[in-house]
């Protein structure tokens, strides 16, 4: 029988700002999942958090987008949000965009990463969960894991990986997806996923046998809600070993704290810092964007584990580098490229300011009593001197 791993996450309110999930809200969600397990809807579950995002890791035999499983997650978030309201936590119920549940949680606010798999004899997986960023943040590390031999030597030296992987890439603006094969179409792939705000890796399959190797939660809340209601802090599930990236190859992809959009007010680039579960709290400048990784084995749907993958001095230097990058980026203050481009900002008063100042803008020709703008003039003068 097939096993489905469903990771469904939402920000239902947090302690002392957009900072950390409160344990009482996790306990409320846990109660709902325990009931679902007792009723046989779920085989197993594990609840965790990264920053202000509550993460429900669930296993079952009901397939992807199952109404019962999604309703269970929705009810868990609702109960957790009630507790958040009772405690006066900040932004209680933030990601629950609808009052009523309708079949599955997609489009209602929570993020979803699900995969239905035929369990291998041993099924090691890693679940990576990030706060204060967006799904495209996984483009670079997933590319490194599944397509870059400098990260994953298995692509070169393991015959069972040597034919590479294919990447399903979603254009989040058009709602269309394209599948590109690596290594054959590597440059086309990079041309798209190098624009992570628009083109997001959604699924990865092994070329040899179409084995599903990874899925990413793709919910751009700003597009769903028609207005920005929070960065859609992403999750990815990665299957490991035996013809797939080794655990260490998957983790290696996160040693470089690359710049991702999000951080303070969802409007700044900052380094993605891999941290232990203990440090999965948004602090400095509401970040820096943080990533946790949990390792499990899945056996007949049971979740064995987890291991807290970044709770390890081997990642101290990555964290140190992330802090140095955080300092460097912060020194730009409100200037780009620390601040995001206007179309990607979660908060922006820019149109209001532009509107307010509009009457005060004067034509170049009026200011300098000439028919031609000095800018244009300078340009033509420059051209004639060439």
Q: Is 265 flagged in the annotation as binding?
A: yes
Contact with ligand F6R (CB under 6 A): which of 266, 288, 289, 306? 266
Site string for ligand F6R, 328-367 (x = CB under 6 A): ------------------x---------------------
First to last CA, the chain: 73
CA dist 274 and 279 (Å) reads 9
CA-CA distance, 40 to 307, in Å (whole number)?
26
264 binds ligand F6R (CB under 6 A): yes
Beta strands in 13-67 (DSSP E): 44-50, 53-60
Contact between 170 and ligand F6R (CB under 6 A)? no
Site for ligand F6R in 31-70 (CB under 6 A): none
> What character string, x for contact with ligand F6R (CB under 6 A) and - otherwise, covers 91-110?
x-------------------
Cβ 73 vs Cβ 55: under 8 Å: no
Asked whether position 17 contacts ligand F6R by CB under 6 A, the answer is: yes
The answer on whether 242 is annotated among ligand-binding residues is yes
Long-range CB contacts (< 8 A, 24+ apart) of 34-41? 36/69, 36/72, 41/68, 41/69, 41/72
Gap between the Cα atoms of 155 and 253, Å rounded: 14
- 42 or 92, CB closer to ligand F6R? 92
Q: Is 95 annotated as a binding residue?
A: no
Residue 215 CB, nearest distance to ligand F6R (Å)? Answer: 23
Q: How far is CA 375 from CA 58, 361, 370, in A?
A: 61, 15, 12
Structure tokens at 299: 């056996």
Pairing of strands 290-299, 273-274: parallel
How many helices (H) and strands (E) would you count in the chain?
Answer: 11, 15
DSSP state of 346: S
Say which of 79, 95, 231, 269 is annotated catalytic.
231
What is d(CA 231, CA 269) in angstroms, rounded to the nearest whole number? 13
User: Residue 211 to residues 103, 202, 214: CA-CA distances in angstroms?
Assistant: 28, 14, 9
- Residue 277 assigned as binding residue: no
Return the one option of Mg ion, ligand F6R, none that residue 47 interacts with (CB less than 5 to 8 A, by type): none
117 binds, among ligand F6R, Mg ion, none (CB under 5 to 8 A by kind): none
Residue 228 annotated among the catalytic residues of the structure: yes
Question: Is residue 368 among the annotated active site residues?
Answer: no
132 sits near ligand F6R (criterion: CB under 6 A): yes
Q: Which residues bind Mg ion (CB under 5 A)?
A: 11, 18, 51-53, 131, 233
Nearer to ligand F6R, 11 or 116 (CB): 11
Q: Which is nearer to ligand F6R, 54 or 240 (CB)?
A: 54
Q: Pick out the residues of the known binding site.
A: 11, 18, 52-53, 90, 94, 103-104, 131-132, 231-233, 241-242, 265, 286, 347
**Catalytically active residues, by annotation:** 11, 228, 231
**Contacting positions for ligand F6R (CB under 6 A):** 17-18, 91, 132, 230-231, 264-266, 286, 346
């Amino acid at each position: 029988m097939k096993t489905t791993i469903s990771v469904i996450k939402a920000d239902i309110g947090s302690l002392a700002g957009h900072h950390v999930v409160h344990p009482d809200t996790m306990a409320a969600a846990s109660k709902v999942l325990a009931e679902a397990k007792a009723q046989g809807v779920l085989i197993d579950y594990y609840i965790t958090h990264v920053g202000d995002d509550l993460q429900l890791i669930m296993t079952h035999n009901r397939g992807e987008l199952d109404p019962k499983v999604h309703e269970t997650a929705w009810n868990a978030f609702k109960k957790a949000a009630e507790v958040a309201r009772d405690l006066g936590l900040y932004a209680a119920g933030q990601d629950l965009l609808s009052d009523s549940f309708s079949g599955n949680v997609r489009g209602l606010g929570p993020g979803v990463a699900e995969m239905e798999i035929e369990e291998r004899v041993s099924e090691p997986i890693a679940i990576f969960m990030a706060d204060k960023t967006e799904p495209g943040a996984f483009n670079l590390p997933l590319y490194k894991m599944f397509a870059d031999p400098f990260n994953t030597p298995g692509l070169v030296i393991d015959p069972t990986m040597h034919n590479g992987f294919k990447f399903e890439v979603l254009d989040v603006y058009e709602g269309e997806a394209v599948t590109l094969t690596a290594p054959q179409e590597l440059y086309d792939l990079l041309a798209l996923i190098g624009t992570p705000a628009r083109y997001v890796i959604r699924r990865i399959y092994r070329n040899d046998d179409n084995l599903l190797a990874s899925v990413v939660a793709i919910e751009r809340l700003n597009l769903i809600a028609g207005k920005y209601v929070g960065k859609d802090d992403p999750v990815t599930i990665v299957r490991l070993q035996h013809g797939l990236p080794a655990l260490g190859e998957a983790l290696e992809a996160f040693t470089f704290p690359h710049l991702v959009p999000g951080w303070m007010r969802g409007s700044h680039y900052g380094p993605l810092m891999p941290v232990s579960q203990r440090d999965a709290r948004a602090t400095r400048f509401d970040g820096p964007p943080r990533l946790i990784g949990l390792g499990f084995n899945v056996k007949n749907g049971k979740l064995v584990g987890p291991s807290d993958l970044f709770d390890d001095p081997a990642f101290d230097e990555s964290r140190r580098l992330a802090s140095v990058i955080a300092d460097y980026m912060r020194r730009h203050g409100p200037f780009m490229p620390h601040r995001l481009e206007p179309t990607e900002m979660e908060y922006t008063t820019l149109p209001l300011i532009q509107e307010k100042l509009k009457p005060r803008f004067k034509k170049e020709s009026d200011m300098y009593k000439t028919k031609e703008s000095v800018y244009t003039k300078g340009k033509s003068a420059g051209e004639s001197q060439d």
